[in-house]
Chains A and B, each alone.
Chain A
Amino acid sequence: MAETRKPVTTIKTPVAIHYNYSIGAGQSAFMRAIREGRILGVRCPDTGKVYVPPRLTSVETASPMTELVELPDRGVVYTYCIVNIKFYDQVLDIPYAYGYIVLDGADSAIMHLIQECPVEEMRPGMRVKAVWKDPKEWTESLENIRYFKPTGEPDLPIEQIMNEIRKKSYA
């Protein structure tokens, strides 16, 4: 029976891949700690650099790394990206910012959402601290931290950030 519907011009062809993802010893240590509200890194025995999340071998020297280090939940924004476009399944209202945050005492960055800061005021060197979910909601996830927000402390000078970035040779 004929119906008067608009002709087909597009078809939905969704693709989904379901993974069981085994995260390995370093990430497992990180996730078990963050379930308790702690942030772990690992120290390279050769260079003294601290990587977060922990990994099993040094990026620069390939030495095994075993010394876990607890890190504070605050640090510095080294770089950031402002999301200005809408996309499918987006949770947040645009514009919003994701930053590369180097925690105090760490030599590698984690990526996280930065809020409570107008995107026009985002800048490298800004000091930020974590805003955690209610401990009752904590799981093995970096999402236990809802976002980072500015602390209001003085920025890390941009020259220092540029120097540190030049020194850091990890991937």
Chain B
Amino acid sequence: MQLNDHGESLCGQHVLQYPYRRATGPILGRFFTEIRDNGRFLGIKTSSGSVLCPPVEVDPDTLEDLSVDDLQEVGPAGCVTSWTWLSEPRPGNPVQRPFAWALIKLDGADSALLHAVDAGSESVMRTGMRVIPRFADERNGGIRDIACFVPED
């Protein structure tokens, strides 16, 4: 018997997966709880007076710990500050038809949240457009409690 490399190589489908579960900490815990239970967004006010959403645990200017007392409501509507069109959604993407990944600055916030915008067509997308969240039918705590954002009008 001879081994040669002229035969066609066999090919198999492999999946490498990790069932991670991450601790949110107190600030993001409140952020996700508020989305899940009330459909409301929280940002966090820093020492410089800016409001960050998603909220962070540490003040980016002073490096002091921030507290849940610094959280305040933002949104739920906002505007797109940047976006990229995904013409072929991948399995597991939040929208299963062509959509945009977008940075969305919620009203009252000074930083942007990354999420999907289901606009139907790339021609609808523009920087500065107004969007509102569409929440998932079943909310279990996590960013997927927001199904996606859609154009406001």
Contacts and interface: CB of A to CB of B under 8 A. Distances in A.
Interface string A1-31: 1110101111111111111111111111101
Interface residues of B, number: 36
B interface majority secondary structure: mixed
A15 B20 contact: yes
Interface residues of A, number: 42
Interface in A52-73: 54, 56, 65-70
Contact of B4 (A11, A19, A66, A89): A66
A140 interface: yes
Contacts of A11: 21-22, 24, 32, 141-143
Nearest to B1: A68
Contact of A67 (B2, B13, B91): B2
B134 interface: no
B49 interface: no
Given A11-B32, A25-B5, 11 more contacts: A3-B37, A7-B29, A7-B33, A10-B24, A11-B24, A18-B91, A22-B11, A24-B5, A25-B3, A56-B5, A67-B1
10 contacts: A3-B37, A7-B30, A10-B22, A11-B141, A16-B17, A18-B91, A20-B11, A28-B10, A67-B2, A68-B2
